């Protein structure tokens, strides 16, 4: 297979304008005759559904939660980037584009990133108009803060709840369309298969999580906006329900999966406290604006932080990266935290933690200013740890947070299956090997508000689709397959719970395909994952039935997919014999321990094709070309 | 430590439910309430019983999925804390915790501790938005918003839609939830053009659902994990009353020629 990203020709600044002008349009009166299925109701899914509903399409939107407002975009804290240059500090569309390509360690597609930077300014306008209560100056203007990997202040925020406010904006726009009848919402509904007829995506098989009924929904196009796969690690900052199932089932139907090993470890999370732990809680990266990160200089120094004098503290990020200091990108900050902990200088009971200290900022700005900026985060920290971060430094440790990899899409966000579009974190397109802070919200909304409504329309206008119904053999086969796998899971009645398998899988992936990776470890992990997968299918215990609310059954289906994805992640990480962004192969580093890329051999997107449960996946490469931002070793020194 | 959990078990809406007591022996004080239920559920599955169904997702207090009554308090006894962030260090060894689902006619039971809160979505769909289609927006800084107004709007906008306010209210009123959205949007200049319509339509939908009325008891704000102030209900009542007095649903009716003026025009 040859991958064609369909990037418009000509200068990058004009690419999106040209693409939009070349698109075919659907007559306004005909739009309601076309059905678009949107899976997921987070920033990308809700904004795409609302915008296509406004245009007049007949939209059906699906989410597994009880309401679209619960989607995990809601938990994003820090902010959203936009090249508004309101601060007059030298920002521009080109600079945001440049920072994002560089931040992604030159493994993203330039044209997509440029369009993202262009759209960023419209996103802020749209959200303000919807009533998103962004932080303001006394004069009434919008205010900004800075984030990792950038030297300008371009991050817009609503306290530490930016994701919540942006999602509620999109959710409200979605509900407005629900009230006008253009969008039909299907909450507590999970997509379990994709229906592909004559090579085109034509529908989905869903399970009603309350009644267990399977349904088939047909459409002219399917948009997956089902988020990332960080929960493969079991412990992550993702919501407990976040899963890869929709993407993975599409992958099994022929959509290529790109760069699965590109996962992001967020440097500032609350450290793990025990075996029962079910998830990790993020402390926004914005805290690094005012907090200073340090560990004791001495190994095994057990004194409380207040008794360690300044000259016995190692502010290691400020020492190693004087120009970016505590605001280095996430991958760099995480690796350095791991490094000092591996040296035995970690803090807290487990030794897996570093201090994030606000005492200097409080002395400089006063407690009130810090409370205003981060109050809710400080409260949350205190609720969880029972320590007061105004008095004692926070303890933080990296945790898995975001996945840059995802289904392969072209410039039009269409996967390798025509009619199947992928938006937001579920696609691979914009962040390369590392995502900069405050860029996930930007991408989700750019895809949903400003790209999908155009490109899906263009696809519909160009397609002649025959009617399909439930009698089609492809549909019957898909429904039977879903029924069968539910039946199998329920009838194994083994000895281990789904969670115990998931925990064990997560530990394998975290140990061998987490913050640092080696060829040897990855090979070992592949073997272990395969073995564990086999045991899962013989020894899992899923209680209850398939005809009512059965949360164990839901989890079992998702974990079954995580096994297959986890294996692919290790295969991809093993294939990529270089270090870049979040993918750090210990064999490939510079003398001072930074990631060492191999542009000659690995400047490509690795897109994997599914060949059945017992066959090796096929690798297809999309070469990356850098015309505007020349690859260099990323330096934040 | 050791706890006894007395949990409401009910297979579905139609079958009768009952309390069942379970003892959980290996509770760590650092655990969250939901992690404590995880431990119980793992144990139940191993014993061949059905685990307790409860709603949860983000487990960091923002998605609004979780929530049930813990010893008679919505989300438990800690203020400003959702069940997922309630750590067990607030309880003592040997304590008994009674867990019940939200009880309100507008939130029909689904299973065990899970209820159906779609009534909230319908209230938002009735008017909890600013009607601005994608692409319609002026520059973000075109409309200055005084900081104090933006902050108050944000205070109201932090509502997570968990339903604790309804569960805590002796009348099972949804006024805090509805008032929070009406306040958030009504305070901002962007929300002004639809202020009247919004109040009329959202209140109408709220009354349509089997929620009770507000009698200013204040349990809602007391139990709200986001500490939404009671003021939002006053805002809602004011907006509703002003809108009712003006009896208009948008500016277009005001400029309608006098000849078609009718005092019983639809409001």
The reply to whether A7 falls in a domain is no
pLDDT tens-digit profile of A562-578?
999 999 999 999 999 99
Confidence of residue B250 (pLDDT cuts 50, 70, 90): low
DSSP bridge pairs for A158: none
The reply to whether A223 falls in a domain is no
Measured between alpha carbons, how far is A449 from A606 in angstroms, rounded to an integer? 28
Q: What is the arithmetic mean of pLDDT over B226-247?
A: 94
Q: What is the arithmetic mean of pLDDT over A285-313?
A: 94
Which one is the CATH code of B117-253: 1.20.970.10, 3.40.50.261, 1.10.1060.10, 3.40.640.10?
A: 1.10.1060.10
Q: Are A421 and A223 in contact (CB under 8 A)?
A: yes
B137 pLDDT above the threshold of 90: yes
A285 pLDDT above the threshold of 60: yes
Assigned fold of B3-110: Ubiquitin-like (UB roll) (3.10.20)
B259 pLDDT above the threshold of 80: no
Alpha carbon of A424 to those of A41, A407, A445, B105, B154: distances in Å? 11, 10, 8, 37, 26
Q: Tokens representing B216?
A: 């200013």
Contact A552 B111 (CB under 8 A): no
SS3 state of residue A332: helix
The reply to whether A349 falls in a domain is yes
Picking from A425, A607, A444, the residue whose alpha carbon sits closest to that of residue A4 is: A607
> Which uninterrupted H or E stretch holds A333?
helix A330-342
Domain definitions of chain B by residue range: 3-110, 117-253
Contact B158 A276 (CB under 8 A): no
- The residue ranking higher by pLDDT, A249 or A376, is A249
Task: Measure A48 CA to nearest chain B CA, in Å.
Answer: 10
Measured between alpha carbons, how far is A62 from A39 in angstroms, rounded to an integer? 5
Residue A374: the pLDDT is 87
Q: What is the arithmetic mean of pLDDT over A42-53?
A: 98
Confidence of residue B251 (pLDDT cuts 50, 70, 90): very low
Residue A372: the pLDDT is 84
Alpha carbon of A553 to those of A190, A487, A502: distances in Å? 12, 10, 13
Q: What is the arithmetic mean of pLDDT over A56-83?
A: 97
Residues A498 and A618 in one domain: yes
Residue A464 CB burial class (10 angstroms; 0-12, 13-18, ≥19): exposed
The answer to whether residue B65 neighbours chain A at the CB level (below 8 Å) is: yes
Task: Measure B137 CA to nearest chain A CA, in Å.
Answer: 5
Q: Tokens representing A423?
A: 């938006």
Task: Measure B258 CA to nearest chain A CA, in Å.
Answer: 30
The reply to whether A416 falls in a domain is no
Which residues from chain A sit within 8 angstroms of residue B110, using beta carbons?
210, 549
Whether ipTM > 0.90 holds is: yes
B247 pLDDT above the threshold of 80: no
Question: Strands across the sheet with A200-208, in order?
Answer: A189-197, A200-208, A214-218
Pairing mode, strands B73-74 and A618-623: unpaired
Q: What is the arithmetic mean of pLDDT over A124-143?
A: 97
Residue A147: the pLDDT is 84
pLDDT tens-digit profile of B26-50?
999 999 999 999 999 999 999 999 9
Measured between alpha carbons, how far is A218 from A216 in angstroms, rounded to an integer? 7
Contact A126 B135 (CB under 8 A): yes
Residue B249: the pLDDT is 53
Q: What is the arithmetic mean of pLDDT over A43-51?
A: 98
Which residues from chain A sit within 8 angstroms of residue B81, using beta carbons?
383
**Length reported for chain A:** 637
Measured between alpha carbons, how far is B5 from A353 in angstroms, rounded to an integer? 34
Considering chain A, what percentage of its residues have pLDDT values greater than 90?
Answer: 93
Q: Which of B81, B124, B190 has its CB closest to that of A129?
A: B190
Confidence of residue A491 (pLDDT cuts 50, 70, 90): very high
Residue A252: the pLDDT is 98
Q: Are A186 and A60 in contact (CB under 8 A)?
A: yes
Residues A502 and A618 in one domain: yes
Q: Which of A50, A67, A137 has its CB closest to that of B121?
A: A67
Residue A466: the pLDDT is 94
DSSP summary character for residue A75: G
Q: What is the arithmetic mean of pLDDT over A299-304?
A: 93
The answer to whether residue A88 neighbours chain B at the CB level (below 8 Å) is: no
Measured between alpha carbons, how far is A604 from A306 in angstroms, rounded to an integer? 48
Which residues from chain A sit within 8 angstroms of residue B11, using beta carbons?
548
Residue A151 CB burial class (10 angstroms; 0-12, 13-18, ≥19): middle
Final residue belonging to a domain, choices A347, A371, A401? A401
Residue A144: the pLDDT is 94
The reply to whether A116 falls in a domain is no
The reply to whether A588 falls in a domain is yes
Q: Are B109 and B101 in contact (CB under 8 A)?
A: yes
List phi, psi (to 5°) of A421. -105, 150
Which residues from chain A sit within 8 angstroms of residue B52, using beta carbons?
none
Contact B42 A497 (CB under 8 A): yes
Measured between alpha carbons, how far is A204 from A224 in angstroms, rounded to an integer? 11
Residues A477 and A354 in one domain: no
Final residue belonging to a domain, choices A380, A401, A422? A401
Q: Are A255 and A416 in contact (CB under 8 A)?
A: yes
CATH (domain of A586): 1.20.58.100
Final residue belonging to a domain, choices A352, A380, A401? A401
Confidence of residue B255 (pLDDT cuts 50, 70, 90): very low
Q: What is the arithmetic mean of pLDDT over A178-186?
A: 97
Contact A126 B157 (CB under 8 A): no
- The residue ranking higher by pLDDT, A349 or B83, is B83
Mean pLDDT of chain A: 96
Alpha carbon of B3 to those of A88, A399, B92: distances in Å? 58, 31, 8
The reply to whether A454 falls in a domain is no
Confidence of residue B256 (pLDDT cuts 50, 70, 90): very low
Helices (H), A104-191: 110-130, 162-180
Task: Measure A601 CA to nearest chain B CA, in Å.
Answer: 40
What's the structural domain count of chain A? Answer: 2
Testing the interface with A: which of B129, B182, B228 to mutate, by most A Cβ within 10 A? B129
Contact B81 A130 (CB under 8 A): no
DSSP bridge pairs for A185: A61
Measured between alpha carbons, how far is A435 from B5 in angstroms, rounded to an integer? 43
A170-229 residues touching B, CB cutoff 8 A: 171-173, 175-176, 178-179, 185, 187, 210
pLDDT tens-digit profile of B112-136?
999 999 999 999 999 999 999 999 9
Residue A148: the pLDDT is 78
Picking from A542, A581, A576, A543, the residue whose alpha carbon sits closest to that of residue A559 is: A542
Residue B262: the pLDDT is 44
The answer to whether residue A84 neighbours chain B at the CB level (below 8 Å) is: yes
Residue A623 CB burial class (10 angstroms; 0-12, 13-18, ≥19): exposed
A541-600 residues touching B, CB cutoff 8 A: 541, 543-544, 548-549, 551-552
The dihedral formed by the CA atoms of A412, A417, A422 and A427, expressed in degrees to the nearest 10: -90
Confidence of residue B260 (pLDDT cuts 50, 70, 90): very low
Measured between alpha carbons, how far is A346 from B17 in angstroms, rounded to an integer? 50
Confidence of residue B258 (pLDDT cuts 50, 70, 90): very low
Measured between alpha carbons, how far is A6 from B171 in angstroms, rounded to an integer? 59
Q: Is the dihedral of CA A180, A186, A191, A192 positive or negative?
A: negative
SS3 state of residue A604: strand
Q: Are A86 and A144 in contact (CB under 8 A)?
A: yes
The answer to whether residue B262 neighbours chain A at the CB level (below 8 Å) is: no
A281 pLDDT above the threshold of 50: yes
Picking from B197, B168, B195, B65, the residue whose alpha carbon sits closest to that of residue B120 is: B65
Contact B132 A129 (CB under 8 A): yes
Residue A121: the pLDDT is 98
Confidence of residue B254 (pLDDT cuts 50, 70, 90): very low
B193-232 residues touching A, CB cutoff 8 A: none
Which residues from chain A sit within 8 angstroms of residue B25, using beta carbons?
none
B248 pLDDT above the threshold of 80: no
Q: What is the DSSP string of A504-559?
A: HHHHHHHHHHSSSB-HHHHHHHHHHHHHHHHHHHHHB---S-SSS--HHHHHHHHH
Contact A72 B139 (CB under 8 A): no
Residues A594 and A500 in one domain: yes
Measured between alpha carbons, how far is A3 from B121 in angstroms, rounded to an integer? 42
A8-67 residues touching B, CB cutoff 8 A: 47, 50-51, 54, 65-67
CATH (domain of A305): 3.90.700.10
Task: Measure A477 CA to nearest chain B CA, in Å.
Answer: 31
The single residue listed with the structure tokens 């289906």 is A557
The reply to whether A120 falls in a domain is no
B257 pLDDT above the threshold of 70: no
B115-154 residues touching A, CB cutoff 8 A: 116-118, 120-121, 124-126, 128-141, 143-147, 150, 153-154
Residue A554: the pLDDT is 98
pLDDT tens-digit profile of A380-434?
899 999 999 999 999 999 999 999 999 999 999 999 999 999 999 999 989 999 9
Considering chain A, what percentage of its residues have pLDDT values greater than 70?
Answer: 100
Confidence of residue B265 (pLDDT cuts 50, 70, 90): very low
Picking from B86, B115, B101, B132, the residue whose alpha carbon sits closest to that of residue B8 is: B101
Confidence of residue A174 (pLDDT cuts 50, 70, 90): very high
Q: Which domain, by its residues, includes A359?
A: 266-401
DSSP bridge pairs for A191: A206
Helices (H), A104-143: 110-130
pLDDT tens-digit profile of B157-206?
999 999 999 999 999 999 999 999 999 999 999 999 999 999 999 999 99
The answer to whether residue A123 neighbours chain B at the CB level (below 8 Å) is: no
SS3 state of residue A406: strand
Alpha carbon of A597 to those of A227, A321, A579, B53, B211: distances in Å? 28, 19, 5, 48, 60
Mean pLDDT of chain B: 93
Q: Where are the beta strands (DSSP E) in A275-326?
A: 292-296, 313-314
Q: Are B73 and B222 in contact (CB under 8 A)?
A: no
Residue A286: the pLDDT is 85
Residues 6+ away with beta carbon under 8 Å from A279:
A235, A236, A237, A238, A239, A240, B59, B60
A104 pLDDT above the threshold of 60: yes
List phi, psi (to 5°) of A540. -85, 150
Q: What is the arithmetic mean of pLDDT over A462-490?
A: 97
């Amino acid at each position: 297979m040859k991958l064609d990203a369909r990037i418009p020709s000509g200068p990058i600044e004009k690419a999106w304008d040209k693409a939009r002008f070349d698109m075919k349009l659907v007559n306004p009166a005909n739009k309601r005759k076309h059905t678009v299925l949107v899976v997921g109701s987070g920033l990308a899914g809700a904004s795409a559904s609302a915008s296509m509903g406004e245009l007049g399409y007949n939209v059906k939107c699906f989410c597994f939660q009880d309401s679209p407002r619960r989607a995990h975009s809601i938990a994003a804290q820090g902010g959203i980037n936009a090249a508004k240059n309101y601060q007059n500090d030298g920002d521009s569309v080109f600079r945001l584009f440049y920072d994002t390509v560089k931040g992604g360690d030159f493994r993203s597609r330039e044209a997509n990133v440029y369009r993202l930077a262009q759209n960023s300014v419209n996103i802020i306008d749209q959200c303000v108009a919807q009533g998103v209560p962004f932080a303001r100056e006394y004069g009434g203007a919008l205010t900004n803060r800075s984030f990792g990997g950038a030297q300008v202040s371009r991050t817009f925020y609503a306290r530490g709840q930016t994701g919540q406010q942006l999602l509620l904006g999109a959710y409200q726009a979605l509900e407005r369309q629900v009230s006008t009848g253009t969008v039909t919402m299907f909450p507590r509904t999970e997509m379990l298969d994709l229906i592909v007829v004559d090579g085109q995506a034509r529908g989905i098989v869903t399970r009603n999580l309350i009644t267990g009924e399977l349904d088939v929904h047909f459409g002219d196009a399917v948009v997956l906006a089902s988020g990332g796969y960080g929960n493969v690690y079991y412990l992550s900052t993702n919501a407990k329900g976040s899963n890869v199932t929709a993407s993975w089932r599409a992958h099994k139907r022929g959509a290529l999966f790109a760069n699965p090993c590109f996962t992001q470890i967020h440097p500032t999370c609350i450290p793990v406290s025990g075996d029962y732990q079910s998830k990790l809680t993020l402390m926004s990266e914005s805290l690094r604006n005012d907090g200073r990160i340090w560990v004791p200089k001495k190994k095994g120094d057990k004194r409380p932080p207040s008794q360690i004098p300044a000259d016995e503290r190692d502010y290691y990020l400020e020492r190693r990266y004087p120009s970016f200091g505590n605001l280095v990108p996430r991958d760099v900050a995480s690796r350095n935290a791991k490094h000092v902990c591996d040296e035995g200088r970690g803090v807290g009971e487990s030794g897996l933690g570093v201090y994030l200290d606000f005492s200097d900022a409080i002395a400089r700005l006063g407690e009130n200013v810090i409370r205003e900026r981060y109050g809710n985060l400080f409260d949350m920290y205190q609720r969880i740890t029972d320590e007061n971060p105004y008095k004692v430094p926070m303890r933080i440790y990296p945790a898995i947070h975001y996945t840059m990899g995802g289904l392969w899409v072209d410039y039009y966000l269409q996967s390798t299956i025509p009619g199947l579009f992928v938006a937001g974190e579920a696609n691979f397109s914009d962040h390369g090997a590392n995502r900069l802070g405050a860029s996930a919200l930007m991408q989700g909304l750019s895809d949903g508000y400003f790209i999908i409504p155009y490109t899906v329309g263009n696809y519909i206008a160009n397609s002649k689709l025959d009617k399909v119904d439930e009698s089609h053999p492809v549909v019957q086969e898909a429904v039977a397959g879903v029924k069968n796998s539910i039946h199998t899971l329920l009838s194994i009645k083994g000895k281990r719970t789904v969670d115990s398998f998931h925990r064990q899988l997560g530990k394998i992936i975290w140990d061998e395909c987490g913050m640092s990776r080696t060829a040897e470890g990855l090979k070992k992990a592949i073997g272990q994952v395969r073995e564990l997968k086999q045991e899962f299918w013989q020894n899992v215990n899923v209680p209850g039935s398939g005809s009512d609310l059965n949360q164990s059954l839901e989890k079992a289906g998702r974990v079954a997919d995580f096994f297959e994805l986890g294996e692919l992640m290790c295969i991809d990480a093993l294939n990529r014999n270089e270090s870049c962004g979040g993918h750090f192969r210990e064999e490939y580093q510079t003398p001072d321990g930074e990631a060492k890329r191999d542009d000659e051999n690995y400047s490509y997107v690795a897109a994997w094709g599914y060949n059945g449960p017992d066959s090796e996946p096929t690798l297809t490469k999309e070469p990356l070309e850098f015309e505007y931002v020349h690859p260099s070793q990323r330096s934040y020194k | 430590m050791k706890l006894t959990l007395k949990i409401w078990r009910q297979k579905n809406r139609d079958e009768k439910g009952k309390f069942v007591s379970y003892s959980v022996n290996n509770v760590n004080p650092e655990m969250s309430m939901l992690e404590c239920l995880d431990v119980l559920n793992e144990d139940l599955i191993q014993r061949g019983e059905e685990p307790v169904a409860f709603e949860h997702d983000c487990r960091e207090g923002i998605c609004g999925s979780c929530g049930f009554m813990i010893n008679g308090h919505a989300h438990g006894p800690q203020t400003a804390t959702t069940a997922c962030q309630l750590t067990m260090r607030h309880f003592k060894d040997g304590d008994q915790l009674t867990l019940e689902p939200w009880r309100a006619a507008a939130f029909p039971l689904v299973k065990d501790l899970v209820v159906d809160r779609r009534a909230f979505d319908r209230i938002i769909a009735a008017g909890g938005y600013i009607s601005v289609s994608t692409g319609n927006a002026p520059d973000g800084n075109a409309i200055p918003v005084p900081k104090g107004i933006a902050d108050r709007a944000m205070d109201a906008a932090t509502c997570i839609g968990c339903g604790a306010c309804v569960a805590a209210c002796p009348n099972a009123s949804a006024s805090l939830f509805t008032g929070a959205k009406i306040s958030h949007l009504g305070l901002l200049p962007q929300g002004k053009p639809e202020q009247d319509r919004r109040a009329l339509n959202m209140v109408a939908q709220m009354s349509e659902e089997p929620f009770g009325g507000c009698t200013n008891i204040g349990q809602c704000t007391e139990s709200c994990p986001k500490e939404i102030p009671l003021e939002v209900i006053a805002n809602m009542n004011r907006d509703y009353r002003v809108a009712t007095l003006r009896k208009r649903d948008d500016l277009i009716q005001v400029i309608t020629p006098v000849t078609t003026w009718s005092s019983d025009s639809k409001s």
